[in-house]
Amino acid sequence: MLGRNRFSETQPTVEILKILINETQIGLGIDRLAAQLKEHYKDQPLTIVSIMTGSLVMLADLIRLLEMPVRISLIQATSYRGGTKSGDLIIHDHMMLDIKDRDVLLIDDIFDTGKTLVQVTKRLNDMGPKSIKTAVFLNKQGQSTVTAVPDFVVFEIPNEFVVGYGLDYEDLYRNMPYVGVLEESDLKNHVAT
């Protein structure tokens, strides 16, 4: 049965008690972003580069609201870590489309220290695009260690570790349709797979 509480039945590994952004709010936020992008790019073709894996859910929702010609490219940025702390970044760009002379929108799930977005933007810049803008689903307030800021932000959030709507903890919980705060007390129910 595709009930709204299906998640808790099928994935009993953790119960997220604190919902930060619910499904309705997420839908409205992505609508807002799509409207801003339409305003900015009008009918011009756009190449969206989605940082895997966290931004895939946002990508799927966003592209269906856009009407200009859209190409989709994937890039992977991973750090040496499970858990909740950032580590050194490795960028895999073997799945990238050619973006030379293209208008590019780079999207990521969350802007925390900002290192991921800055380093991936640098890599894309070397590929000779016409323009690059950045959009993030979440912007964690007060955590940035870089001077760059994302061009488009769907939601500002406090400094908490969040999961759901693409965001993971040890590769789980990306499929939750809302954003929840993963608190220390929730982890007792976390079962590593």
Backbone angles phi, psi at 25, to 5 degrees: -60, -40
> What does 116 interact with, of Mg ion, ligand 5GP, none (CB < 5 to 8 A by kind)?
ligand 5GP
| Shorter beta-carbon distance to ligand 5GP: residue 41 or 121 | 121
Q: How far apart are CA 14 and CA 174, in angstroms?
A: 12
**112 classed as catalytic:** yes
> What does 161 interact with, of Mg ion, ligand 5GP, none (CB < 5 to 8 A by kind)?
ligand 5GP
CB distance 169 to 161 below 8 Å: yes
Q: How far apart are CA 58 and CA 27, in angstroms?
A: 10
| Shorter beta-carbon distance to Mg ion: residue 30 or 51 | 51
Assigned token pair, 149: 């800021």
Give residues in contact with ligand 5GP (CB under 6 A).
54, 86, 108-116, 140, 161-163, 167-169
Q: Is the peptide bond before 53 cis (omega within 30 degrees of 0)?
A: yes
| Shorter beta-carbon distance to ligand 5GP: residue 43 or 184 | 184
Catalytic residue among 61, 103, 108, 112: 112
CB distance 130 to 159 below 8 Å: no
- Active-site positions? 112
In the complex, the residues that contact Mg ion under the rule CB under 5 A are 54
